[in-house]
Amino acid sequence: MKKHNFFAGPSVLPDVAIQNSIKAIDNFSDTGISLLSISHRSKEFQAVMDEAQALFKKLLDIPEGYHVLFLGGGASTQFYMVPFNLLEKKAGYLVTGEWAGKAFKEAKIFGEAIEVASSKDRNFNYIPQGYVIPSDADYFHITTNNTIYGTEIKEDIDSPVTLVADMSSDIFSRPVDVSKYGLIYGGAQKNLAPSGVTFVIVREDILGKVSRPIPTMINYNTHITKGSMFNTPPVLPIFTALETLRWLDNLGGVSQMQKINNEKATLLYDEIERNKLFMPTVPDAKDRSIMNICFVMNENYAELNDTFLKFASERGMVGLKGHRSVGGFRASTYNALPKESVEALVSCMKDFEAMH
Ligand SMILES: *Cc1c(COP(=O)(O)O)cnc(C)c1O
């Protein structure tokens, strides 16, 4: 049976990216040896690194003065690497979910970290508005898509200080005005590649301003100088990321991707609103994520929660169970999820409604 992959991460990737990774594991770039056993300093792998960086710059229209890095350690390592490199006195954090909270917690180790606003009072089901970013902060940190709670900041906000964003789960889902950010980072395993590689887009003029000594491996300048080859980079995930970026480029880039993503999200949110059994967990449509669509059973049908999960899994839907802090269901509709999978879920919801 065809599976419909709604996992939140690691998650669905383009078929072509997976197939070409399998081929490269067998015989990488006609070298006659596996991608898994070739030197990262070979000219064949250097070409992968160069093209992956170039496609990042092309697809996100990254201006001069920025560098694209591929590092290990996951987005969680960036939670402390950012303040280590940027926080001298004070930083502001927008606390819109669990990951944002974890980033905020790490920053407090290095200096004064301020919670500028939070949506914790309503279990993170909205994006705070009308907050004031302290103009004396070294930077302001946001999480653009809250993977667990299904809220998203869909526009590039204006900040009087350096803007830093965790874009783990919405990178490449829409055009981004990179010039508004000093640093963007994310784990690759939501929208780009298997786990193991973390991307960082950093503007060089924000670095070198803190007084603390920075260990070599967590100094961004080390990786800029060495082209992400100071130590052995995560070779396989970088290769798959390149294949995903080629797929996206062939599809027409991030504007086209955004159009498709909006179609998928609209289809599903409309059904959640229409169907008597279900309701969305994020009340305000403008705050709803187009990547992670969270919904629950309507109060009167709460006892059907597990029955629906079972019904859906019998039809090939995987990864629909909501995160434990929200409950219900979460359909992750990342770039590589085909529209047919969303249509299949919508029919499944309609059929389930007809039975109850
Ligand atoms: C998954 C996720 C993380 C954690 O990423 P790791 O690579 O596992 O450290 C951080 N932030 C967001 C928004 C995420 O979705």
Mutate to test the pocket of ligand 1, among 168, 170, 200 (most ligand atoms within 8 A of CB): 168
Residue located via tokens 């949110």: 269
- Longest CA span, the chain: 65
Residue bearing tokens 């590092």: 71
With a pLDDT cut of 70, the percent of the chain lying above it is 100
What is the SS3 assignment for 36?
helix
Q: Which H, E and C letters describe 170-205, residue by residue?
A: CCCCCCCCHHHCCEEEEECCCCCCCCCCEEEEEEHH
Neighbours of 133 (CB within 10 A): 19
- Binned at pLDDT 50, 70 and 90, residue 133 comes out as very high
Atom of ligand 1 nearest to the CA of 187: 7
CB 90 within 8 A of CB 114: yes
133 alpha carbon – ligand 1 mean position (Å): 24
Å from CA of 170 to ligand 1 middle:
11
Model confidence at 249, pLDDT cuts 50, 70, 90, reads very high
SS (H, E, C) 249-278: HHHCHHHHHHHHHHHHHHHHHHHHHHCCCE
116: nearest Cα among 99, 103, 134: 134
Q: Is 247 a catalytic residue?
A: no
List pLDDT tens digits, range 328-347. Answer: 999 999 999 999 999 999 99
CATH class in words for 4-11+254-355: alpha beta
Distance between Cα 168 and ligand 1 center (Å): 6
Delimit the domains of the chain by residue range: 4-11+254-355, 15-251
> Across all residues in the chain, what is the average pLDDT?
98
147 Cβ contact partners less than 8 Å away, ≥ 6 residues apart: 8, 9, 97, 99, 168, 169, 190, 291, 292, 332
Residue bearing the CA closest to ligand 1, atom 8: 74
Nearest CA to ligand 1 atom 4: 75
Q: What is the pLDDT of residue 24?
A: 98
Closest approach atom of ligand 1 to CA 99: 11
From 138, 154, 170, 190, the catalytic residue: 190
Task: Give the span between the Cα atoms of 348 and 195, in whole angstroms.
Answer: 30
CA–centroid distance, residue 347 to ligand 1 (Å): 31
Nearest partner of 94 among 84, 102, 104, 108, judged by Cα: 104
Start-to-end CA span in the chain (Å) = 26
User: Which of the listed residues 70, 76, 151, 330 should we mutate to test ligand 1's pocket, taking the one with most ligand atoms within 8 A of CB?
Assistant: 76
- Cα Rg of the chain (Å, integer): 21
The string of pLDDT tens digits covering residues 42-74 is 999 999 999 999 999 999 999 999 999 999 999
Query: Given the structure tokens 């103009």, which residue do they identify?
Result: 135
For the cut 90, the answer to whether the pLDDT of residue 1 exceeds it is no
Residue nearest to atom 13 of ligand 1 (CA): 168
Give pTM, 2 decimals.
0.98
Give me the mean pLDDT over the 139-160 stretch. Answer: 98
Contacts for 12-20: CB closer than 8 Å, 24+ residues apart: 12/332, 12/334, 12/336, 12/337, 13/193, 13/194, 13/240, 13/244, 13/336, 14/243, 14/244, 14/247, 14/335, 14/336, 16/243, 16/247, 17/193, 17/240, 17/243, 17/244, 17/247, 17/336, 18/240, 20/243
Q: What is the pLDDT of residue 78?
A: 98
Helix (H), strand (E) counts: the chain? 9, 14
Catalytic-labelled residue, pool 138, 166, 170, 287: 166
Which atom of ligand 1 has the smallest separation from the CA of 169? 15
Percent helix, strand and coil across the chain, each rounded to 5? Answer: 40, 20, 40
Instruction: State the distance from the centre of ligand 1 to the C-alpha of 353, rounded, in angstroms.
Output: 34
- Asked whether 348 and 317 are in contact (CB, 8 A), the reply is yes
- pLDDT for position 79: 98
CA distance linking residue 50 with residue 235, whole number of Å: 13
Residue 197 has pLDDT above 90, yes or no: yes
The H or E element containing residue 141 is: strand 139-143
Q: Ligand 1: which residue has its CA nearest to atom 12?
A: 168
Residue 268 confidence (pLDDT): 98
186 alpha carbon – ligand 1 mean position (Å): 7
- Place 20 in a pLDDT band, splitting at 50, 70 and 90: very high
Atom 5 of ligand 1, residue of closest alpha carbon = 75
Q: Could you give the CA distance from residue 88 to residue 137 in angstroms, rounded to a whole number?
A: 9
Could you please state the CATH topology (level 3) that the domain comprising 15-251 is classified under: Aspartate Aminotransferase; domain 2 (3.40.640)
Closest among 269, 261, 237, 268 to 336, alpha carbons compared: 261
* Ligand 1, CB cutoff 6 Å, lining residues: 9, 74-76, 99, 143, 147, 166, 168-169, 187, 190
Rounded CA separation 289/292 (Å): 6
Measured in Å, residue 114 CA sits from the centre of ligand 1 at 21
